[in-house]
Structure 1
Amino acid sequence: MVFLSLVASHSDIDLETVAQLSAGASQVASSVLETSAPLNGIVVLSTCNRYEVYCEASGPGEIEAARSAVISQISSASGLSEHVVGCALATKTGQDTVEHLFNVGAGLDSAVIGEREIAGQLRRALIEAQEKRTASGSLVRLFQTASRTAKEVGTRTELGSRGLSIVSVALDLASDLSVSAGWAEKNIVVFGTGAYAGATMALLRERGAHRVGVYSSSGRAETFVSTRGGSAVDEEQLQDALSHADVIIGCSGGDRRLMAADVASLDRAGRPLIAVDLALTHDFDPAFEDLDNVDLITLESVRMAAPVEQAMALRQARQIVQDAATDFAQEQRQRSADAAIVALRKHTQSVLESEVEKVRAQHGCTAAADEVEFAMRRMMRQLLHVPTVRGRELAAEGRTDDYVAALETLYGIQVQAPRAVPAQTPPACPVGEPAAPLREVG
């Protein structure tokens, strides 16, 4: 077993390409596992800044075949050529995959360093994979450990106390651009009803905003505002709401985009408008930048404006992540050795029971038969002692694969990989817009 990840993020490629790769993200894992790819499990992490696929390949020799299968399915889902997909996705394997995921979950690879929302998306990605039965046992442990590590970074370092996020930085930028009164006096329209929009509403409340309308092309606005505040805006009310808005915030990423021409045609009497587009696939026409009295804030704007964290806090956070990744790797090696040792014991136990049956058939339930069985079992325990100890020693050295290969060569024993693990509890996240990239904030 070996971990494999294919990674595309804001730090390597443009967000438009990330958005294209994310198309059909929810179907990729199931589609790959339906093929003959040498994979035991897949978890897909699709966010506003990244698209990442985490896999458990059957072994080191299967990495290239597994990678090709994943790229092929992403190509089919996104409409991009396999060459483009392959160039866009960086490949990580083994411990590099573990360390990368732990850094992502802790917010150390985010546009806003230390942001906390990505940890929630990690949990939701795992829950979705468990529900679809695409997550192997090893991947479940990997993601659960990443979540625990993220929590530890949040509680033990100053990064967690900052409370920064993509949304908070975007709202800070909007505040800097506004020359009017505070958030309490602003008319705001939020597009979308997913997790992104929920986080936006929570932060708007913290800043004193109370004149907030919520529009959803899917018709979920009424249900959304009943638990998060604000007022629902329907199709008939949208134009009037936009005419009086001071700030509009895009969190939906749906098929409908608000065009510059639509805003230009509104009777706003020269009123300034701040448009905050937090949707990876853009809720607002990029041509907003060319409109008079309109300021456009995008995810790229947020990334450029994100504050630099203190060096001490970053060093502490990275050390926590590194220690957790090292401990996880050691635990995984031990688990692999344990599985191989169990397989060896089952094999020898099967042979022993077969021989004991022969003794019983020949001698019956006699004292002699009992003595023979006792001797055979004692001999088997002694024979297993050295292979068991050696298996754990090799695991500590990171050579479990050598041990497994020896068992297969000498005894024909096949060490089975963990099977997919279904979710134990249903997800408790809010219903979002249908667009896949917006299952995450940050």
Structure 2
Amino acid sequence: MVFLSLVASHSDIDLETVARLSAGASGVAAAVLDGTTPVSGAVVLATCNRYEVYCEAPGEKDIEAARSAVIAQISEASGLEERHVSAALATKTGEDAVNHLFAVGAGLDSAVIGEREIAGQVRRALIEAQQSGTASGPLVRLFQSASRTAKDVGSRTALGGRGLSIVSVALDLAEDLESSSAWESKNVVVFGTGAYAGATMALLKERGATNVSVYSASGRAEVFAATRGGTAVDDDSLAAALAAADVLIGCSGGDRRIAAEDLRGLDRGGRPLVAIDLALTRDFDQSIEDIDDVELITLESVRMAAPDEQAEALRQARVIVETAASEFADEQRQRTADAAIVALRRHTQRVLETEVQKVRAQHGCTAAAEEVEFAMRRMMRQLLHAPTVRARELAADGRHEEVESALETLFGISLGEPARAAGPDAGRRRETAEAQVCPVAGFEGRAASNVG
């Protein structure tokens, strides 16, 4: 088993491309698991400035086929040509994919270093994958470990201690642009009812904003406002809310985009307006910057204005992330070794049981037959000791594929497939043996306890 991640983020490409890749993101994981690809699990992490797909493939030899399958699905969902999708997505495999996700979850790869919002987005990505049935066991463990690591970074370092986030930095920029009044006296209109809208409402409340309206093109504003606060706005009352607004905050990325013509016809009395666009696919058209007294803050503006965190806190966070990622990788290698060891033991156990039944059939339920069986089990346990130890040593060194190859070459054992029976008549012999179990008191229990 190997992890594969395809990554597009603000660090490498423009946000417009990230937004185009994200189109139809929710369906990619399910589509790539249609049974025709080597992908056995997939989780999609889509945020305001990144689009990442994490997959599980059977082995190294399947990586390219898995990558091609994911790219094809993203191309179909986004409408972009496969060659453009391929060029936009960085590929990470194995421990590199693990390290990347752990760093992302801890906020080390964010536009605002140390932001805490991304940790919740990583958790939600896993929950959505589990609900849709696309998350495999290894991917569940990977994302859960990344979430635990993010918590450790938050509790054990000063990174993000100031509560910085994309939303908070954006609000700070808005304050710098319009410092004439406090948030208590500002009229704010929030677009959207998703996670970023929720975080925005919480931060506005912390800063004392009381006049907040919420608009949702999907009609969810009333339910959202009932739990988060604020006043719901619909299509009929949106124009009035825009006319009275001091600050607009876009968090929806929906089909409705506010353009210059939507604002020019309003009687705003000459008041300045700050529009904060946190939506990856833009809630506010660039044209609104052409209007006098309108300032536009975008995700790019936030990234440029994000403060640097303390060097020591960042160093500590990176150590925690690197250690956790290394420990997770070691655990995965151990799991691979354990699976190989179990497969080998199952194989040898079947061979052993076949020979034990021969002894029982020839000598019956005698003390001599019992001693022979005990001796055979002890010998088998001793024979398995050395390959068991060696398999774990190789796995610890990252050479687990050698273990799998050796099992398949020497014994015909392929991990993930049932162990082969000991000969074509093994099933019939086991059925016969089951009818010949010796009724010696404690015999079966003692025999089983000697299986290595």
Q: TM-score, normalised by structure 2?
A: 0.91
Partner of 2:279: 279
Unaligned runs of 5+ in 1: 418-442
d(CA) in 2 for partners of 1:99 and 1:88?
20
Which residue does the alignment assign to 2:170? 170
Amino acid at match of 1:296: L
SS at match of 2:110: coil
Rounded to whole Å, the distance in 2 between the matches of 1:39 and 1:216 is 37
Q: CA deviation at 1:35?
A: 4.1
Q: 1:16 is matched with which residue?
A: 16
Letter of the 1:323 partner, please give it: T
Structure 2: gaps spanning 5 or more residues = 418-452
Deviations 1:80-126 (A, max 9, x none): 00000000000111111111111100000000000000000101111
**1:365, CA displacement in angstroms?**
1.8
Per-residue Cα deviation, 1:223-247 (whole angstroms, up to 9, x for no partner): 1111111111122111111101101
- SS at 1:267's partner residue? coil
Q: Residue in 2 aligned with 1:409?
A: 409
Which residue is 2:118 aligned to? Answer: 118
Deviation at residue 179 of structure 1 after TM alignment: 3.5
Using the TM superposition, give the Cα deviation of residue 180 of structure 1 relative to its aligned residue in structure 2, in angstroms: 2.2
Identity of counterpart residues, as a percentage? 75
SS of corresponding position for 2:236:
helix
The structural deviation recorded for 1:269 is 2.0
Larger Rg: 1 or 2?
2
- Report Cα offsets for 1:325-381 as digits up to 9, x if no partner: 111111111111011101111111122122222322333222222122112111110
Alignment of 1:36-435 (within 5 A): 36-416=36-416
User: Is the contact between residue 273 and residue 294 of structure 2 (CA under 8 Å) also seen in structure 1?
Assistant: yes
Letter of the 1:107 counterpart: G
After superposing the two structures, state which structure 1 stretch, 33-42 or 70-79, moved more.
33-42
What is the CA deviation profile of residues 275-307 of structure 1, one whole-angstrom value per residue up to 9, with x for unaligned ones? 111100011111111111100011111001000
Structure 2 letter corresponding to 1:209: A
* Secondary structure at 2:237 match in 1: helix
CA distance in 2, matches of 1:413, 1:210: 67
**What CA distance in whole angstroms lies between the structure 2 residues aligned with 1:44 and 1:216?**
25
How far did 1:49 drift?
Answer: 0.7
Query: Which residue of 2 is the match for residue 440 of structure 1?
Result: none
Higher relative contact order (CA 8 A, sep 6+): 1
Which moved further from structure 2: 298-307 or 264-273? Answer: 264-273
Determine if contact 2:113/2:160 at 8 Å carries over to the other structure: no
1:434 aligns with: none
Q: TM-score normalised to the size of structure 1?
A: 0.93
Partner of 2:445: none
Secondary structure, counterpart of 2:252 in structure 1: coil
Rounded Cα–Cα distance in structure 1 between residues aligned with 2:359 and 2:135? 45
Which residue in 2 is equivalent to 1:436? none
Deviating more after overlay: 35-44 vs 395-404: 35-44
Q: Secondary structure at the residue paired with 1:212?
A: strand
Which residue number corresponds to residue 28 of structure 1? Answer: 28
CA distance in 2, matches of 1:71, 1:40: 16
Amino acid in structure 1 at the alignment position of 2:402: D
